[in-house]
Chain A
Amino acid sequence: DTAVSQTPKYLVTQMGNDKSIKCEQNLGHDTMYWYKQDSKKFLKIMFSYNNKELIINETVPNRFSPKSPDKAHLNLHINSLELGDSAVYFCASSQVANLKANYGYTFGSGTRLTVV
């Protein structure tokens, strides 16, 4: 069973379109995240949800809107896609409530978004 699964794995779309990426975790973790890795390979956090509540919202354009219907799911919707949105987007989860025993984040395999 895949612990953190993202769909789709690849997404090619035109500028101006609206698209969504889905993420699900079956680890029972209480916190989920979205990270963006650009062409220079820097990994930057975008959002974090703890028990469906938004707790981290980095400086991200408001075209990006996360939604967490329950603590096992965190989706990312992107409006009016731009060329600069092309990147790999990683979903992750962790059990923050017990961080001392935390074995860290578990990441998904990524969604490679290409905007043309």
Chain B
Amino acid sequence: DAKTTQPPSMDCAEGRAANLPCNHSTISGNEYVYWYRQIHSQGPQYIIHGLKNNETNEMASLIITEDRKSSTLILPHATLRDTAVYYCIVRAYGSSNTGKLIFGQGTTLQVKP
């Protein structure tokens, strides 16, 4: 599975959009981009995933560049409860390491009042 690069930390003002970038320049054609977050001391929580089209759900939007080498997770109106570590992960559908998610260091997002 391809590796990802994320900034170690970011700040965001409450009520503003939080834009979390992720580079995955070695991504393969059959690899999806997944985003998870881990709020302090809790288990990681699924946010969103996509292959090549932009995706939106009730939690966030995922923008994937046309060459698929990078993506951005957007939290449209960040709240204090969005303070967490955000992980960008790429993995293949049907990978021989079936179901295996590899977590990097992630981005610690601090939402400030």
User: Which residues does A use to contact B, with CB under 8 Å?
Assistant: 4, 31, 33, 41-45, 48, 50, 55-56, 88, 90, 92, 94, 96, 99-100, 102-110
Contact = CB atoms under 8 A, between A and B. Distances in A.
Interface residues of B, number: 22
**Residue picked from A90, A99, A103, A109, most chain B C-beta under 10 Å:** A99
A100 B97 CA distance: 15
B93 A99 contact: yes
Majority secondary structure, B binding face? loop
Contacts of B87: 43
Contacts of B38: 43
Majority secondary structure, A binding face? strand
B34 A104 contact: yes
B111 to A, nearest CB: 19
B46 A103 contact: yes
Nearest to B47: A104
Contact of B100 (A48, A90, A107, A110): A48
